[in-house]
Structure 1
Amino acid sequence: MLGKVITLFAVLGSLSMSTQAFAPHRGTNRLFLDTAETAEWDSLIPTGIFHGITTNPTLLERAGHDCTIEQVQKLSLKALNMVGCDEFMCQAWGPTVEDMFNVGMQLSEIDRERIVIKVPVTFEDQAITACGIGAEYLAPYLGRMNDNGKNGIEECERMQSIADGMGSNTRILVASIRDVKSMGDLICKGMDTFTFNPDIARELFKEQLTISAAEEFEAAAARNGGSK
């Protein structure tokens, strides 16, 4: 087997325990950092909020990486050696099923449990397909659905209902998130698995009222001996 396989979409495989020295308790949620920029990994993975990293050929190109098996393997090794990064998702490529399978096998050979191979699903209802084959993840693209006239929030919620209705453990991994509010809306509907870019990640920490309060607290501490 390919280890873990994600459709674009979805993933076969079992949840692995982290082999890292430190594994923060995040509850049942899984948040992924969606970028191939390794400098962003170094900056944001240490926050401890992320379960792993997601990439695809487009993100590799944007980051200046070659889309080759050797390069993706190199990136996967870096990612999985980072404390707190439990999974690395990368996408297989190729014009045929056989080509895509072979690429996926090579990409995942370093660590079949923690390297997740993404493959596109082309049948009409991806949710039923992914749940039917026992995929670990199904990754709807929220922003792209909205761009094409669909109600992305409702579509994601429906996919979650399909997974629940089929008695499947498939996680709905919401991708193409354009703003924090959309993610919050989905969390309020019971969803807990997301991948988002570094800009969205930083938005999670940007609240002016909190920043102002923290500055006030620091100033008070300094006035009362906190700097000593």
Structure 2
Amino acid sequence: MDLYLDSADRDALAPLLATGLFRGVTTNPLILQRAGVRLSEVPSLVSWLLASGADEVFVQTTAADADAIEREGHALRDLSDRLVVKVPATGPGLVATRRLSAAGVPVLLTVVYHPNQAVLAAAAGARLIAPYLGRMTEAGRDGRADLRTMARALAGTGTGVLVASVRDAAVVPELAADGLEAVTVGTDVAHAMFAEPLTDAAMVQFDAATSALR
């Protein structure tokens, strides 16, 4: 499973990217706002992320109509050939995704909540979709079941699934066991993935034994 970080906070991202375990970084306007990153500062952020160990970076369009989304998508892609354009799963977004994909721009269709949107994303040529698992579940849907349906529907289409809105580190291995190929998590969830009390306890014993052997 490919692991991504969902953040624009440089201080929080730096140590996690340095591990080499996370393939890249996903962002959206809310994430930028929380990190205090203005739209004019996105090019600088992208450069920093790529220099800090991200293999690829995802940046979301902010326009509303298909023509403007398409123009913005090309402008974002011009920042780097390792940038993937995120486009919301609206009607205009799907039209723009089709155009951008046809022009060779990799697109992730984001804020996906229903398998119908996954099918439309494949028809539009999206590279990935980002279903919001946490929000789906909080809305009373069986998010895990819907994700499995999306994955089966997309098998062989060339469109993959990058699960977003993951609230708990324990969910990540469950998603991997379900066959989902990628997930993006906040830095707090990423840190929680490293935590295991039994491993910590074993290391205390190993350290004590090592000291006794000297």
TM-score (norm 2): 0.85
1:64-106 residue CA offsets vs partner (Å, 9 max, x unmatched): 111x2x31111100011123x1100010111322222222222
Query: Structure 1 regions of 5+ residues with no counterpart?
Result: 1-28
Residue 47 (structure 1) aligned to one of 4, 19, 23: 19
Structure ranking higher on relative contact order (CA contacts 8 Å, 6+ apart): 1
CA RMSD for the aligned pairs? 1.4
After TM superposition, list the pairs within 5 Å mapping 1:1-228 onto structure 2.
29-66=1-38, 68=39, 70-83=40-53, 85-111=54-80, 113-122=81-90, 125-164=116-155, 167-225=156-214
1:25-69 residue CA offsets vs partner (Å, 9 max, x unmatched): xxxx31100001011121111112111000111001101111x2x
Q: Which amino acid aligns with 1:168?
A: T
Q: Which amino acid aligns with 2:82?
A: R
Separation in structure 2 between the aligned mates of residue 131 and residue 98 of structure 1, nearest angstrom: 20
Separation in structure 1 between the aligned mates of residue 70 and residue 11 of structure 2, nearest angstrom: 30
Separation in structure 2 between the aligned mates of residue 169 and residue 103 of structure 1, nearest angstrom: 24
TM-score (norm 1): 0.80
Q: Which amino acid aligns with 1:170?
A: T
Matched length: 191
Separation in structure 1 between the aligned mates of residue 41 and residue 75 of structure 2, nearest angstrom: 12
**Aligned equivalent of 2:107:** none
Give the 3-state SS of the residue equivalent to 1:204 in structure 2. Answer: helix
Higher helix content, 1 or 2 = 2
Separation in structure 1 between the aligned mates of residue 193 and residue 181 of structure 2, nearest angstrom: 15
| Contact map agreement 1:139 1:172 (CA 8 A) in 2 | yes
Higher strand content, 1 or 2 = 2
Give the 3-state SS of the residue equivalent to 1:173 in structure 2. Answer: strand
Separation in structure 2 between the aligned mates of residue 60 and residue 143 of structure 1, nearest angstrom: 20
Query: Structure 2 regions of 5+ residues with no counterpart?
Result: 92-113
Give the 3-state SS of the residue equivalent to 2:85 in structure 1. Answer: strand
